[in-house]
């Protein structure tokens, strides 16, 4: 009797390897439709503001809306030329206040977050708890007490006063974020730095901050946005003079008692959005985690 | 280069009751010596090292480096370099920057840093990797970078906290020899912490054994092996561990399973002086042997329960009846003729001079 290799193999029914079940056509269509609708809901309002910003005020609200109707760059030129209030001054005010808020808030919350992450000190728990609690008050409740405090400090009506007010919102949140981030940097790194000859502040400045860049980027973005689009505090704590307004406050000139200049308002809104988008674009490359990998045994 | 001295140094962690992680440690390390701190986990060995590094407070006593009291000096003022168990490399710096960081902080000029880093890299076979970030290195390479970072600084003392525990077994044995050779070559005082007694025995000029924050014994590896100061050291040093059993004493010796193992007169005198009816009897697996069952010599009847073949020799684990209970013994035998499982063998003490006797309660050594 002869045997060939083929006959020695165990004959098995063909088995399909367990594979994720392919999505049916109907499910796929439903999925894509849902995603498309969700995207549309998110993008459409912004898109319509953009469309409106090119139309004259009279054509902005129509019974049968059109994409293009006497559209031009007139709104933009009139706003930027200062025809409709001192837009560029407001812009400068907003940029100054938002940047100052970012710098002060990131500096304070980074140092606080590092202390909370690394050191044990009396009152640490209550400090972190108070950071949580202060976030629970609505803005409106805070306006009167903050007004009194700023008055006492002589900062009422000044940009720096408003920056401090924004920090009351931004610092607690950013501190929590950064504490969480610093917790992921192994304490061995601090100790290695101290043995290598760094002071405790040197460890923070030269080792921890560079390693926490993604965390810092996120908190900086948050602090910037907190200050950039805020209206209530800005209108309460800055002087009423036109040249001290921020953009968000200034935009109200387009909304008057009897009529609203929708075209101008939309164009101004687009101009306001540009810096926020730019800041996001700058920080987004840091939003990728994983910088700390490889520090310790991987 | 410097000598190091712990002068009744203690570290007390608050709690209820407070924990004395390191308890009045007194230890003198000579210039250029390689001292290994060894002990089970929680023995305070790492804490003792961190106290020397300045990363842990010294609550009582003092620490001196090079004759200078550094008890209240911050780490950067102590002229030490440390290799961490996790290596603690700076992830945002390249290998070269990691190694040169301490020199950069000291304001050494760039050319000199580059030269020193280059030398160290050559010594550690890292030249090819100088521009890489730590995450692009293997475990062994990271370990070498951590070593390099310490070497480049040319410190007075090297501190190493279990630097090999993250390496695989083969690499560990290789690196162990490399570190010992490197220390020999550089002649820098080194304090090395490990929980692995084989590492301690093979690397250290002297080995300090700690338990519960207390120094048990500090001596050369040979002395620790031959004359352990107490039952703990006896059981901790040596692999496999020494057979330690508490057995009744008779006028002539220690009674095990019907036979009486004769003990030296001096030991018996000490025991009777202390009014002991029992004694902790210790014998290393290599001091026991299996004798033919036909032999007229007295021996312990042992049932073989496990045979571990190591190649050159084999470890035979078995049960011996002592009094009412069954005690496990380990015997090291020739690897080519190990007994089989379940076999009844006769075990005899090869050399009575290798018997260690300890106080059954305090664990202290009874004989010299």
B63 vs B73: CA distance, rounded Å: 10
The predicted pLDDT at position A287 comes to: 62
What residues in B contact A195, CB-CB < 8 Å?
53-55, 75-76, 80-82
In chain B, which residues fall in CATH 2.40.50.140? 243-358
In angstroms, the separation between the Cα of residue B15 and the nearest Cα of chain A is 14
Average pLDDT for B330-334: 92
The per-residue DSSP string of B205-239 comes to SEEEEEETTEEEEEE-HHHHHHS-SBHHHHHHSSS
The predicted pLDDT at position B317 comes to: 94
**Chain A: residue whose CA lies nearest to B80:** A195
The predicted pLDDT at position A17 comes to: 55
May I ask the CATH class of domain B243-358? mainly beta
Ordered by start, the domain boundaries in chain A are: 28-72, 80-287
Average pLDDT for B203-229: 94
Nearest CB to A197 within list B76, B88, B137: B76
Contacts 24+ apart (CB under 8 A), A256-265: A259/A57, A261/A57, A261/A84, A262/A52, A262/A55, A262/A57, A262/A60, A262/A61, A263/A52, A263/A53, A263/A54, A263/A55, A263/A56, A263/A57, A263/A59, A263/A60, A263/A75, A264/A57, A264/A75, A264/A78, A264/A79, A264/A84
pTM of the entire structure?
A: 0.79
Nearest CB to B75 within list A186, A194, A294: A194
pLDDT at B332 over 70: yes
pLDDT at A7 over 50: no
In angstroms, the separation between the Cα of residue A212 and the nearest Cα of chain B is 10
What residues in A contact B89, CB-CB < 8 Å?
192, 294-296
A236 vs A244: CA distance, rounded Å: 12
pLDDT at B296 over 80: no
In angstroms, the separation between the Cα of residue B244 and the nearest Cα of chain A is 38
Nearest CB to B91 within list A196, A198, A294: A294
pLDDT at B28 over 70: yes
Return the residue in B76, B88, B101, B162 with the most chain A beta carbons within 10 A, the one to mutate for interface testing: B88
Between residues A289 and A67, which one has the greater pLDDT?
Answer: A67
ipTM of the complex in this document: 0.84
Least confident of A98-102, A242-246, B65-69: A242-246
In chain B, which residues fall in CATH 3.40.50.300? 4-236
**Chain A: residue whose CA lies nearest to B157:** A195
CB distance A297–B105 less than 8 Å?
no
pLDDT at A292 over 70: no
Q: Pick from A171, A162, A168: which is nearest to A239 by CA? A: A162
For A80-287, CATH gives: 1.10.3720.10
The predicted pLDDT at position B105 comes to: 93
CB distance A194–B74 less than 8 Å?
yes
CB-based burial label for A224 (10 Å; 0-12, 13-18, 19+): buried
pLDDT at B137 over 60: yes
What residues in B contact A209, CB-CB < 8 Å?
none
Nearest CB to A194 within list B76, B92, B149: B76
What residues in A contact B87, CB-CB < 8 Å?
296-297
Chain A within 8 Å of B329 (Cβ-Cβ)?
no
For B4-236, CATH gives: 3.40.50.300
SS3 of residue A61 by DSSP: coil
Using one digit for the tens of pLDDT, what is the confidence trace for A69-105? 778 888 888 888 877 778 888 889 999 999 999 999 9
Nearest CB to A297 within list B87, B91, B106: B87
């Amino acid at each position: 009797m002869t045997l060939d290799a083929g006959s020695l193999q165990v004959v098995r029914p063909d088995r399909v390897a367990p594979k994720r079940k392919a999505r049916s056509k109907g499910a796929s269509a439903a999925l894509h439709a849902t995603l498309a609708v969700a995207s549309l809901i998110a993008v459409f309002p912004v898109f319509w503001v953009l469309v409106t910003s090119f139309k004259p005020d009279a054509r902005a609200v129509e019974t049968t809306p059109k994409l293009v109707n006497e559209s031009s760059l007139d709104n933009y030129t009139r706003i930027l030329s200062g025809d409709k209030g001192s837009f560029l001054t407001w812009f400068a005010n907003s940029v100054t206040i938002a940047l100052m808020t970012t710098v002060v808030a990131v500096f304070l919350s980074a140092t606080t977050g590092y202390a909370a992450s690394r050191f044990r000190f009396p009152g640490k728990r209550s400090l972190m708890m108070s950071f949580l609690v202060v976030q629970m008050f609505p803005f409106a409740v805070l306006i009167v007490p903050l007004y009194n405090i700023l008055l006492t400090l002589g900062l009422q009506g000044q940009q720096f006063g408003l920056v401090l007010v924004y920090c009351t919102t931004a610092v607690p949140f950013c501190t929590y974020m950064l504490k969480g981030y610093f917790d992921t940097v192994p304490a061995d790194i601090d100790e290695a730095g101290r043995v290598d000859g760094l002071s405790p502040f040197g460890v923070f400045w030269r080792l921890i901050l560079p390693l926490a860049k993604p965390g810092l980027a996120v908190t900086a973005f948050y602090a910037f946005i907190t200050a950039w689009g805020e209206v209530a505090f800005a209108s309460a704590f800055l002087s009423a003079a036109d040249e001290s307004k921020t953009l968000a406050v200034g935009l109200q000139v387009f909304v008057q008692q009897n009529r609203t200049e929708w075209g101008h308002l939309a164009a101004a809104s687009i101009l306001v959005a540009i810096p926020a988008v730019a800041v996001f674009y700058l920080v987004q490359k840091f939003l990728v985690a994983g910088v700390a990998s490889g520090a310790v045994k991987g | 280069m410097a000598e190091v001295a712990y002068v009744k140094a203690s570290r007390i962690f608050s709690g209820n009751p407070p924990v004395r992680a390191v308890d009045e440690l007194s230890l003198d390390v000579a210039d250029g010596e390689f001292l290994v701190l060894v002990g089970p986990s929680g023995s305070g060995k790492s804490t003792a090292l961190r106290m020397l590094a300045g990363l842990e407070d010294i609550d009582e006593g003092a620490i001196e480096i090079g004759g200078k009291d550094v008890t209240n000096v911050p780490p950067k003022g102590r002229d030490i370099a440390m290799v961490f168990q996790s290596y603690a490399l700076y992830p945002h710096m390249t290998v070269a920057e990691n190694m040169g960081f301490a020199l950069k902080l000291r304001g050494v000029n760039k050319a000199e840093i580059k030269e020193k880093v280059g030398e160290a890299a050559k010594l550690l076979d890292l030249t090819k990797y100088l521009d890489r970030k730590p995450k692009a290195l293997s475990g062994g390479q990271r370990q070498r970078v951590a070593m390099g970072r310490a070497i480049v600084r040319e410190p007075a003392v090297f501190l190493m906290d279990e630097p090999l525990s993250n390496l695989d077994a083969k690499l560990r044995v290789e690196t162990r020899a490399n570190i010992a050779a490197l220390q020999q070559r550089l002649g820098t005082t080194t304090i090395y912490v490990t929980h692995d007694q084989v590492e301690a025995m093979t690397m250290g000029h002297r080995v300090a054994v700690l338990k519960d924050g207390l120094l048990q014994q500090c001596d050369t590896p040979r002395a620790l092996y031959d004359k352990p100061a107490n039952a703990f050291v006896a059981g901790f040093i040596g692999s496999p561990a020494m057979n330690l059993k508490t057995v009744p004493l008779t006028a002539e010796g220690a009674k095990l399973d019907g036979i009486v193992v004769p003990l030296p007169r001096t030991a018996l005198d000490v025991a009777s002086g202390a009014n002991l009816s029992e004694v902790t009897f210790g014998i290393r697996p290599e001091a026991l042997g299996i004798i033919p069952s036909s032999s007229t010599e007295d021996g312990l009847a042992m049932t073989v329960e496990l045979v571990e073949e190591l190649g050159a020799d084999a470890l035979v684990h078995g049960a011996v009846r002592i009094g009412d209970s069954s005690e496990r013994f380990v015997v090291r035998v020739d690897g080519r003729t190990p007994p089989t499982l379940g076999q009844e063998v006769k075990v005899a003490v090869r050399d009575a001079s290798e018997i260690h006797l300890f106080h059954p309660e305090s664990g202290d050594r009874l004989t010299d």
